């Protein structure tokens, strides 16, 4: 009975390693980067260039809003929210290894809260 209880306690502690709450766990959670380093900004620009091959309008005028980073042993993962131009709010997620990068997710949505006067219907 004691060994069963001890086994359950140890199993609970082992499974607790996989929980991502309060910064504990095997896989660290994303943390906001308040002051991005030069390496962080270069990684963002490289990911942006890679995204620009898919969505060409993204590369023009960009403004970084939020940057999140998750460090690991072999890779670093990033999430970025940024404005592309005046009306597009974009999201980009990528992973980076030494000398290798892969985009995980990307999206750009038109911000409907900022309507352009040219697109309004004059008959309404």
106's tokens:
């990307």
**How confident is the model at residue 77, as a pLDDT?**
93
The torsion defined by the Cα of 20, 23, 29 and 31, in degrees rounded to 10, comes to 150
The residue segments making up the domain with residue 104 are: 33-113
* Same domain, yes or no: 52 and 100: yes
Percent of the chain, pLDDT > 90? 23
Higher pLDDT, 47 or 26: 47
Classify 8 in phi/psi space as left (phi over 0), alpha (psi -120 to 50) or beta.
alpha
Tokens read off for 98: 């030494």
Domain containing residue 69: CATH number: 3.10.450
Number of domain units in the chain = 2
Task: State whether 65 and 89 are in the same domain.
Answer: yes
Positions of E strands within the chain = 31-32, 62-71, 76-84, 88-97, 100-110
Please give the structure tokens belonging to residue 46: 């490289």
How far, in Å, CA of 9 to CA of 114, rounded? 55
**120 belongs to a structural domain:** no
Confidence (pLDDT) at 61: 72
Return the DSSP state at 28: P
In a domain, 119, yes or no: no
Lowest mean pLDDT among 18-27, 29-38, 68-77, 113-122: 113-122
Same domain, 46 and 107: yes
> In the predicted model, what is the mean pLDDT of residues 106-116?
63
Q: Are residues 41 and 14 in the same domain?
A: no
Flag whether the pTM goes above 0.75: no
Burial class from Cβ neighbours inside 10 Å (0-12, 13-18, 19+) for residue 100 reads exposed
> Do 63 and 102 fall into the same domain?
yes
């Amino acid at each position: 009975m004691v060994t069963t209880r001890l086994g359950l306690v140890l199993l609970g502690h082992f499974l607790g390693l996989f929980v991502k709450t309060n910064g504990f766990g095997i896989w660290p959670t994303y943390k906001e980067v308040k002051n991005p380093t030069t390496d962080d900004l270069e990684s963002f620009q490289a990911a942006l260039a890679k995204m620009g091959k898919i969505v060409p309008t993204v590369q023009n005028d960009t403004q970084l809003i939020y940057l999140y980073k998750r460090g690991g042993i072999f890779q670093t993962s990033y999430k970025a929210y940024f404005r592309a131009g005046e009306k597009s709010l974009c999201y980009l997620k990528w992973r980076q290894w030494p000398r290798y990068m892969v985009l995980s997710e990307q999206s750009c949505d038109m911000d409907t809260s900022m309507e352009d006067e040219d697109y309004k219907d004059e008959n309404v």
